Chain A
Amino acid sequence: MNHSHPELAEQFVKDAERTTWHDETLWFVRQKRDRSIYAIPEFQELRELASQIKNHTLSRLHTYLTQFEEAARANGVQVHWAANAEEHNAIVLNILRKHGAERIVKSKSMLTEECHLNPYLLQHGIQVVDTDLGERIIQFRNEPPSHVVLPAIHLKKEDVGETFHLHLGTLKGEKDPQTLTEAARLHLRTKFVSGQVAISGVNFAVAETGSVVVCTNEGNADLGVTLAKVHIACMGIEKLIPRLTDLGVFTRLLARSATGQPVTTYTSHYTKPGPGKEMHIVIVDNGRTKQLGRPDFRASLKCIRCGACMNTCPVYRRSGGHSYDFTIPGPIGAILSPNIDMHKHKSLPFASTLCGSCTDVCPVKIDIHTQLYKWRQVIGENNELPASKKWSMKLLSRVLSSPGVYGWGGKVARESLRLLPHGFTHAKALNPWAKAREMPAPPKQSFREWYEQQNSNGKA
């Protein structure tokens, strides 16, 4: 299978109308975000504070993890540690087996997506229902999410209508969002009631109290957790914040950056199991300590998964989340993915113009575009660049470090462009620039030639 971003993106861009729609929809979310943050005079101070809290936490992660574990255990929660995705999945399966559970409800968790929990559980005969509306839609379609907050943002309402017609028996051609949502709601209610175990993600884990916080707009985490006998919360080690008082900083930033809402509709705190119930927390590494050990990329672990960098990224908006072929797409995904598999994801740090909008929008001040630039160097050093690029850059370096060769080469290039037929210089197979753009019209004189002439005329 092809994982290269340029090729997957080209496929997406071919559907010009859908690209326009995708771009405008996400830009609309970006604008909502802008309006809501402009209304908060201290927003930049909040960003700085959040960034410092995260930096501090990451610098003492071991301490806070230990504190969190102790507090959670004292609350009667069972804490599990998983070094990687396989261990995570096995731990979850083990808990399900212990309870003889065959049906589980899950509230959106990018971590379980990262660990490919759904297919694993299905293989072991367990029915998994994603209860977030967007997640449920893509689950029906057997697709991965294309965005961390808006997992089905690549789909139009017509696509959803078609999917629900197939899976929920709604009328063919139905595309009214209200009707479709109502159908999903009725369908999901039956799943909530029959769910034996509820799995949820974790937005924030508070070291001081041992509790986990989940933010949703649909209340689906609450419905699932409240109705099921067992709650399993799955979290990456980077979700920690030190104190409960730190939480307000992040909840103010998260919803505003994600969708422009002041706060998510539901911000649920889970601290201890209800009477007669069980609560488990699975703490997962899966490459995170490796990233923590890379000074240039450590800051990527500050990410609170608001998706703002995706909404603002002009490349993401025009290439769609699936073109990244990684659980977390967009600019932040392009930093996280090479850490997991550099060879597979080598094209992602190049799927950016390094415009820096992602860095400016990031609520926890991750220097995203700087890290993309640095990954490019690591990929180059590890010999993962296409040979054509590698050798042309070596040649270019020779040309550009020698004024004589450069002057001569420039002249040859300009003259060729001037004298060769347009059909040749602009042949799409030879010159990717020319597929959609004209080459600059070559002038007779370069600047240096003009300058030299001025000098010899005694003018300059």
Chain B
Amino acid sequence: MKVALFVPCYVDQFYPQVGVASLQLLEKLGVKADFPMQQTCCGQPMANSGCERDAVPVYQHFVKTFRDYDYVVAPAGSCVYHVRKHFDIIDQTTEVQHVRTNTLELVDFITTVLGVTEIPGSFPHKVGLHLSCHGQRGLHQANESEITPVRDGQLRRLLSSLQGIELTELDRNDECCGFGGTFCVAEEAVSARMGQDRVQDHVRNGTQVLTGGDMSCLMHLEGIVRRRQLGIKVMHAAELLNGNPV
């Protein structure tokens, strides 16, 4: 099985430890992933801003970079969702279809492709899980509260297997954090308010470590946590599952 790691642009630049944890975690699970050096971005920033056409060269670059792999794995549900859903505007060659179908979010890959249900290790902390919308609703990685009261999902299950972990029960299980790509600056006032409310739900319910499967949401929430100097640590789920210390 030939697997490539896709490290989204902002993770590469600002959260290299998330890329490292993803690589190490995969290795622990018996998968040696490559990191093709020419990779850049999935093109979502342009497309979400209404400039889909400008993103076409980036889409093509993405496909060219990853076409020879069986799977492309990324620690970011939103970017994966973008590749799978929105690469529909370029010519649907076999390789484009191959890359779209086989680009998977890290936890999704671990759960569905590797068939892993438990991760050995312990994390004796109170952990608040931020369900990122594109992973949850877009890639169906967790139940939607609009449809069922059952709170279940791939990441919740994997995290629960860690010894000593206690998952926070939030008042609003799956409300959006307000990041939304360029929304975070174009609609700065509402975006910030949404993030503050999201963080407050975690504070109210005793979260010590805030985690999730999408670093972009976490980057926004971390920005608020640090501005307000709240005693919450923000970590990507790959770091928890890899056994990184708090």
Known: A5-B187, A355-B180. A394 touches B35 (CB 8 A): no
A314 within 8 A of B: yes
Q: CA A376 – CA B53 in complex, angstroms? A: 12
A406-454 interface with B by 8 A CB criterion: 406, 410, 413-414, 432-433, 435-443, 445-452
B15-36 interface with A by 8 A CB criterion: 15-20, 35
B49 within 8 A of A: yes
The answer to whether B178 and A10 touch across the interface, beta carbons within 8 angstroms, is no
Interface residues of B toward A: which range? 35 or more
Q: Across the two chains, which residue of chain A brings its CB closest to B59? A: A401
The answer to whether A34 and B149 touch across the interface, beta carbons within 8 angstroms, is yes
A403 within 8 A of B: yes
**Contacts of B188 on A, CB cut-off 8 Å?**
6, 10, 432-433, 435-436
A23 within 8 A of B: yes
Q: CA A170 – CA B175 in complex, angstroms? A: 40
Q: Which of A353, A377, A401 contacts B57 (CB 8 A)?
A: A401
The answer to whether B14 and A442 touch across the interface, beta carbons within 8 angstroms, is yes
**Contacts of A353 on B, CB cut-off 8 Å?**
133, 176, 178-181, 183, 191, 194
Q: CA A14 – CA B190 in complex, angstroms? A: 10
**Contacts of B144 on A, CB cut-off 8 Å?**
357, 360
A385 within 8 A of B: yes
**Contacts of B55 on A, CB cut-off 8 Å?**
397
| Minimum C-beta distance from B25 to chain A (A) | 14
Q: CA A350 – CA B186 in complex, angstroms? A: 8
| Minimum C-beta distance from B151 to chain A (A) | 13
Q: Which of B137, B192, B219, B227 contacts A360 (CB 8 A)?
A: B137
Q: CA A28 – CA B51 in complex, angstroms? A: 37
B244 within 8 A of A: no
When each residue 205-227 of chain B gets 1 if its CB lies under 8 Å from chain A and 0 otherwise, what string results? 00000000000000110111011
The answer to whether A403 and B40 touch across the interface, beta carbons within 8 angstroms, is yes
Q: CA A361 – CA B193 in complex, angstroms? A: 23
**Contacts of A5 on B, CB cut-off 8 Å?**
187
**Contacts of B18 on A, CB cut-off 8 Å?**
447
The answer to whether B14 and A451 touch across the interface, beta carbons within 8 angstroms, is no
Segment from B4-12, B97-105, B113-121, B160-168 that makes contact with A: B4-12
Q: Which of B58, B176, B187, B192 contacts A436 (CB 8 A)?
A: B192
| Minimum C-beta distance from B161 to chain A (A) | 27
Known: A440-B223, A447-B11. A312 touches B146 (CB 8 A): yes
**Contacts of A432 on B, CB cut-off 8 Å?**
185, 188
Known: A380-B52, A438-B227. A314 touches B178 (CB 8 A): yes
Q: Which of B16, B38, B50, B148 contacts A443 (CB 8 A)?
A: B16
A15-63 interface with B by 8 A CB criterion: 16, 19, 23, 27, 34, 38, 44
The answer to whether A447 and B54 touch across the interface, beta carbons within 8 angstroms, is no
A233-255 interface with B by 8 A CB criterion: none
A389 within 8 A of B: yes
| Minimum C-beta distance from B148 to chain A (A) | 7
Q: Across the two chains, which residue of chain A brings its CB closest to B197? A: A23
Q: Across the two chains, which residue of chain B brings its CB closest to A359? A: B137
| Minimum C-beta distance from B237 to chain A (A) | 17
| Minimum C-beta distance from B62 to chain A (A) | 9
The answer to whether A380 and B223 touch across the interface, beta carbons within 8 angstroms, is no
Q: Which of A385, A401, A437, A451 contacts B51 (CB 8 A)?
A: A385
A186 within 8 A of B: no
**Contacts of A19 on B, CB cut-off 8 Å?**
193
B184 within 8 A of A: yes
The answer to whether B193 and A13 touch across the interface, beta carbons within 8 angstroms, is yes
Q: Across the two chains, which residue of chain B brings its CB closest to A426? A: B227
Most A C-beta atoms less than 10 A away, residue of B172, B174, B183:
B183
Q: Across the two chains, which residue of chain B brings its CB closest to A350? A: B186
**Contacts of A435 on B, CB cut-off 8 Å?**
188, 192
B128 within 8 A of A: no
Most B C-beta atoms less than 10 A away, residue of A318, A400, A402, A446:
A400
**Contacts of B43 on A, CB cut-off 8 Å?**
397, 400
**Contacts of A413 on B, CB cut-off 8 Å?**
13
The answer to whether B46 and A406 touch across the interface, beta carbons within 8 angstroms, is no
Q: Which of A23, A27, A355, A393 contacts B46 (CB 8 A)?
A: A393
| Minimum C-beta distance from A442 to chain B (A) | 7
Known: A357-B137, A385-B51, A400-B58. A433 touches B185 (CB 8 A): yes
The answer to whether B48 and A376 touch across the interface, beta carbons within 8 angstroms, is yes
A81 within 8 A of B: no
| Minimum C-beta distance from A31 to chain B (A) | 9
**Contacts of B203 on A, CB cut-off 8 Å?**
none
B153 within 8 A of A: no
The answer to whether A6 and B11 touch across the interface, beta carbons within 8 angstroms, is no
| Minimum C-beta distance from B78 to chain A (A) | 9
Known: A9-B189, A354-B48. A406 touches B9 (CB 8 A): yes
When each residue 371-397 of chain A gets 1 if its CB lies under 8 Å from chain B and 0 otherwise, what string results? 001001101110001000110011011
Q: CA A452 – CA B7 in complex, angstroms? A: 14
B45 within 8 A of A: yes
Q: CA A361 – CA B148 in complex, angstroms? A: 11
| Minimum C-beta distance from A324 to chain B (A) | 12
Q: Which of A23, A355, A380, A401 contacts B50 (CB 8 A)?
A: A380
Q: CA A400 – CA B12 in complex, angstroms? A: 13
The answer to whether A355 and B58 touch across the interface, beta carbons within 8 angstroms, is no
The answer to whether A447 and B19 touch across the interface, beta carbons within 8 angstroms, is yes
A327 within 8 A of B: no
A319 within 8 A of B: yes
Known: A5-B187, A376-B48, A380-B49. A360 touches B146 (CB 8 A): yes
Q: CA A327 – CA B104 in complex, angstroms? A: 41
The answer to whether B193 and A440 touch across the interface, beta carbons within 8 angstroms, is no
Apart from A23-B197, A381-B53, what 7 extra A-B contacts exist at CB < 8 Å? Answer: A318-B197, A353-B179, A357-B176, A373-B86, A377-B50, A380-B51, A440-B10
Binding site for B on A (CB under 8 A): 5-6, 9-10, 13-14, 16, 19, 23, 27, 34, 38, 44, 312, 314-315, 318-319, 349-357, 359-361, 373, 376-377, 379-381, 385, 389-390, 393-394, 396-397, 399-403, 406, 410, 413-414, 432-433, 435-443, 445-452
List 6 tightest A-B contacts by C-beta distance, closest first: A353-B180, A437-B223, A380-B50, A436-B192, A447-B19, A355-B176
Q: List 13 A-B contacts (CB under 8 A).
A: A13-B189, A16-B193, A315-B178, A352-B183, A354-B133, A356-B133, A359-B137, A360-B144, A379-B50, A394-B51, A437-B220, A438-B223, A447-B16
